Structure 1
Amino acid sequence: MYDSQDTDVITSVRSKAEKSVVLTFDDGPSKVLTQILDILEAEDVPATFFWQSRLLYSERPWKRVLQDGHMIGSHTTKHPNLVKLPYEKQFEEIQNSITKIERITGSKIEYFRPPFGQYNADTIEAAKQLNVTPVMWRIASIDWELKEDPQQIMTNVIDHLEDGAVLLMHELKQTVEVLPELIKAIKEKGYTFILLDH
């Protein structure tokens, strides 16, 4: 469980829906994106994708992401630890990412996730100047460490579910493996899935 006292950063979302969560995926667009989209379509679940713009080629199925009703946010250009960079470099990383994603997709970027979940006052200021809202999470699946134990991804999420929580996942093979089961388990606990700007 993660929480931030920083009012400029989103970790959870309040919805009119009875109980809801926000599903987010970092570090794409990746080779497994199409599989993730197939699962989300089958389960009728919206998600937000935070992309590194260096990975965004026009061949990636970004059109389908938007056509299917999902959102795309910035995850910088090259995924640096922003707190190790001066303000100007942080601004540049975020700005270049937003510019490239908007140019290719034609979709306005409103949300931004700092790599490694690391940010400081400069990051917040850069995001304000660029008119994007930083998004962290309440529940981390730790999927990036669980290549050999995908079932633990399930446990990490299901054991900590709460209303409005933003869930952190990644575009990884092991995540794809458990995603259908995970979505069903979240629904069985009475939760619906919403977007950040529900």
Structure 2
Amino acid sequence: MTKEGPKYVGYRMIIVFFTVLLATVVIKTNKEFDSLNVFSPTKELPIYSVERKDKKIAISFDAAYGDEYTIDILDTLDKYKVKTTFFLVKFWVENFPNRVEEIHKRGHEIGNHSATHPNMSRLSPEQIAEELNSTGDEIAKITKVKPTLFRPPFGDYNDTLIREAKKNGYYTIQWDVDSIDWKELGTQSVVDVVTRNVKPGSIILFHNNAKYVREYLPLVLERLIADGYEIVPISELIHKQDFKIDSTGKQIPIKQ
């Protein structure tokens, strides 16, 4: 057996010390990382589309400004026997109560689109609740049905908005197919964008006062129906419970 010199023993002690120190740092870091994973709040997401095995899709109209084409839209939807969802702003409801009643009477779903059309992510929880509830009450006053779907103006949202909407009885709904009818690029542009991007479970965004809505709507409906899609109101498309939402906003049912 050889005798270890003081210098050799010193080196060994230094190596052991740094090995223990490194192990301690790694363990502590891993614990902190796990703790962050456990306690970090989950990112809240609205529903952009729905995972479905059938070919159901939904069409929606946002109504905030103007009413020039609403009856024409309703007549076209009647012609093709299609039911959709209209998201209404409170001041639109107040300005056009007869239209709200007509939309409801013809069997279409009415959703909440806020009271004043603000950027909702800038509001406090109390302000969000006021936007939602005052609009919901105004709609229910006419239709006798309180809406359960909410679409934030401009598609603007944050975690607080999603949580407050849920607390007040609303599913927050976005879209995965923007018709870009608001860009006023013409009829064919809308038809092409919608028909190229739609897929089972899609939610399509239109506007009730878009410039070419009377021209593009029948063409879009004919193409979608010919392609085998079944168009339903959003509440018939989404899952009401036992679901998760992936990072793209797709609502996916949780198998029991």
Same fold judged by TM-score > 0.5? yes
Specify the code of the residue in structure 1 equivalent to 2:132.
I
Is structure 2 residue 84 aligned with structure 1 residue 47? yes
Instruction: Please give the per-residue CA displacement for 1:107-155, whole angstroms capped at 9, x wherever unaligned.
Output: 1211000000010111112101211110011101011112x42221111
1:107 to 119, 141, 145: 145
1:44 counterpart letter in structure 2 = K
Taking every aligned residue pair, what percent have the same amino acid on both sides?
30
Distance apart, 1:7 and its partner CA: 6.5
Shift of 1:156: 1.1
Residue 20 in structure 1 maps to residue 56 in structure 2? yes
* Residue deviations 1:147-177 (CA, integer Å, cap 9, x gap): x422211111011110010001101231222
1:153 aligns with 2:190: yes
Seen in structure 2, the aligned counterparts of structure 1 residues 19 and 7 have a Cα distance that, compared at 3 Å, is farther
Deviation at 1:182, TM superposition (A): 0.8
Q: 1:182 to 1:125 in 2, by over 3 A?
A: same
Counterparts of 2:161 and 2:214, CA distance in 1: 31
Structure (1 or 2) with the larger CA radius of gyration: 2
Single out whichever of 108-117 and 59-68 deviates more from structure 2.
Answer: 59-68
After superposition, the C-alpha distances for 1:33-74 in whole angstroms (9 at most, x for unaligned) are 111000000010010000001111464322232222210000
1:37 aligns with 2:74: yes
Q: 1:7 to 1:15 in 2, by over 3 A?
A: farther
Once the two structures are TM-superposed, the CA of residue 196 in structure 1 deviates from its matched residue by 1.8
Alignment partners' CA distance in 2, 1:36 and 1:139: 19
Q: Contact 1:8 / 1:133 at 8 angstroms: preserved in 2?
A: no
Give the deviation of 1:76 after TM superposition. Answer: 0.3
CA RMSD of aligned residues (A): 2.0
SS in 2 for 1:24: strand
Q: Secondary structure at the match of 2:49?
A: coil
Q: Could you tell me which residue of structure 2 aligns to residue 192 of structure 1?
A: 230
Write out aligned runs for 1:74-89 (5 A). Answer: 74-89=112-127
Judge conservation of contact 1:153–1:175 (CA < 8 Å) in 2.
no
> In structure 1, how many angstroms separate the alpha carbons of the residues matched to 2:118 and 2:192?
29
Unaligned stretches of 5+ residues in structure 1: none
TM-score (ref. length: structure 2)? 0.70
Aligned partner letter, 1:60: N
Number of aligned residues: 192
Aligned residue type for 1:163: P
Distance 1:91 1:80 in 2: 13
The aligned residue for residue 128 of structure 2 is: 90
Q: Which runs of no fewer than 5 residues in structure 2 stay unpaired?
A: 1-41, 237-256
Q: After TM superposition, which residue ranges in structure 1, 4 or more long, deviate above 3 angstroms?
A: 5-8, 13-16
Cα gap change, 1:121/1:6 in structure 2, threshold over 3 Å: closer, same or farther? Answer: closer
Secondary structure (helix, strand or coil) at the match of 1:88 reads helix
Superposition pairs for residues 125-140 of structure 1, below 5 Å?
125-140=163-178
CA distance in 2, matches of 1:7, 1:164: 20
Q: CA deviation at 1:99?
A: 1.3
